[in-house]
C-alpha cells in the first residue's frame, strides 16, 4: 500500500508550506508557498547561511537598504524553490500594505521584476496578497496584467466569492486558525474531523465556487493535523507543513477522496459582491474579521523580526557573517 501522502497526490496537488529547502527535496511537492514567518525561520537555518550571505553581499555592492534586501531575500528563496519544485512558488507582499491597493500592485510588480531578472518567469510565480477588500482589488488589476495571485488569509465564504469574482488565480482558505478560534470560543479541546469548523469552512468554499463555475483554484491551508488534511482530500490543492507531510508519508493506511466538484447549479452568474456587503460580512462574522486582522498583524510582526535580523547582519563585517 502506498503512503497516504502518495495517495493524496492522486486527489489533490500537494504543496509544501515552507521555505526549508531540505524539506522540499525530501517530500517532492509540486508547488511551494512561503510567507514572512516561513522565510524568517528558513533564513535562520544553517543550510541557508550561504544564500543569506549572498543576498547581503549583493545589497552591499548595490547600496540597497534593508527593505530592498528583504525583497531580494524573499525572491532569492523563491528562485531556489523553483529549482526544487516543478510548479508554482508563492511569494508574499508585506502585510503592512494589506490596506493599500496601489502599494500592493507596485510591490507585486517589483517582486516579479526581481524574479525575471534571475531568469524565473511569471508562469512560475504566484504573488501572495491578504484577502482584504484592497488586496482583492489589487489582485484584479494584477491578474489582468498576467500576474497570477494567491489570496491568503481567507476565513469566510464572502472573501472567497469576492476573490473569485475578481479573477484571482488561487485562494488559500485557512483551516487550523478557524478551528483554534472556535475551540477557544466554545471551550472545547477538539472536534471530530467532519464537524471541525475549519474543515467545514473549506468544504463550503470549495463546493460553492465549483457549483457556480468559478475558475479560481481552492488551496486548503493552515492545518493543525494530518486528519484535517485527509478530510479535504480532493480539494484542488493542499499546502501542508513538512511535519504533517512526514506524518502522511509514514502512514500506509487507505486514504479516501472526500471532495469532488459538484454539478454546476446554474448557468447564470452570481451577483457581484459589493464592497459594503463584503465589509459587513466580515463585521458580522466575528471569527473571520478577527482572524484576518490577526493574521495580517502576525505576518507583519515576523517581517519586522526578519528585518531586524538582516539589519544586524548588514552591520557585520564580511568575515563575521555565517558561511
Which residues participate in catalysis according to the annotation?
128
For the beta carbon of residue 63, count every other beta carbon within 10 angstroms: 7
- 33 has which bridge partners? 17, 90
- 3-class secondary-structure state, position 15: strand
CA-to-CA distance for 120 and 174, rounded, in angstroms? Answer: 28
What is the DSSP track for 138-176?
Answer: HHHHHHHTT--EEEEEE-SHHHHHHHHHTT-SEEEEBSH
- Torsion angles phi and psi, residue 322, rounded to 5: -60, 145
The CA R_g of the chain, rounded to the nearest whole Å, is 20
CA-to-CA distance for 52 and 295, rounded, in angstroms? Answer: 26
Cα 182 to Cα 175, 179, 207, 211, distances in angstroms: 11, 5, 22, 27
Instruction: Note the residue count of the chain.
Output: 323
Amino acid at each position: 500500500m502506498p503512503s497516504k501522502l502518495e495517495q493524496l497526490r492522486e486527489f489533490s496537488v500537494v504543496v509544501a508550506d515552507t521555505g526549508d529547502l531540505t524539506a522540499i527535496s525530501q517530500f517532492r511537492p509540486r508547488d511551494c508557498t512561503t510567507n514572512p514567518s516561513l522565510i524568517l525561520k528558513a533564513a535562520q537555518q544553517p543550510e541557508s547561511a550561504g544564500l543569506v550571505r549572498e543576498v547581503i553581499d549583493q545589497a552591499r555592492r548595490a547600496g540597497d537598504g534593508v527593505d530592498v534586501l528583504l525583497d531580494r531575500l524573499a525572491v532569492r528563496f523563491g528562485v531556489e524553490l523553483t529549482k526544487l519544485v516543478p510548479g508554482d512558488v508563492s511569494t508574499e507582499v508585506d502585510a503592512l500594505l494589506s490596506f493599500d491597493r496601489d502599494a500592493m500592485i507596485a510591490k507585486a510588480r517589483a517582486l516579479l521584476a526581481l524574479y525575471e531578472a534571475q531568469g524565473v518567469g511569471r508562469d512560475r510565480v504566484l504573488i501572495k496578497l491578504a484577502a482584504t477588500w484592497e488586496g482583492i482589488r489589487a489582485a484584479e488589476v494584477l491578474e489582468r496584467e498576467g500576474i497570477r495571485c494567491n489570496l491568503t488569509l481567507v476565513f469566510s465564504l464572502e472573501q472567497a466569492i469576492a476573490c473569485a469574482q475578481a479573477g484571482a488565480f488561487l485562494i488559500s482558505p485557512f483551516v487550523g486558525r478557524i478551528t483554534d478560534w472556535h475551540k477557544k470560543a466554545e471551550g472545547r479541546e477538539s472536534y471530530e474531523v467532519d464537524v471541525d469548523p475549519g474543515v467545514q469552512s473549506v468544504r463550503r468554499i470549495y463546493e460553492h465556487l465549483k457549483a457556480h463555475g468559478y475558475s479560481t483554484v481552492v488551496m486548503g491551508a493552515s492545518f493543525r493535523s494530518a486528519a484535517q488534511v485527509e478530510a479535504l482530500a480532493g480539494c484542488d490543492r493542499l499546502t501542508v507543513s513538512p511535519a504533517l507531510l512526514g506524518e502522511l508519508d509514514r502512514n500506509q493506511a487507505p486514504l479516501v477522496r472526500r471532495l469532488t466538484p459538484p454539478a454546476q447549479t446554474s448557468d447564470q452568474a452570481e451577483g457581484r459582491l459589493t464592497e459594503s456587503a463584503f465589509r459587513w460580512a466580515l463585521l458580522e462574522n466575528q471569527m473571520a474579521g478577527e482572524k484576518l486582522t490577526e493574521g495580517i498583524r502576525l505576518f507583519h510582526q515576523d517581517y519586522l523580526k526578519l528585518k531586524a535580523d538582516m539589519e544586524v547582519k548588514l552591520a557585520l563585517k564580511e568575515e563575521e557573517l555565517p558561511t
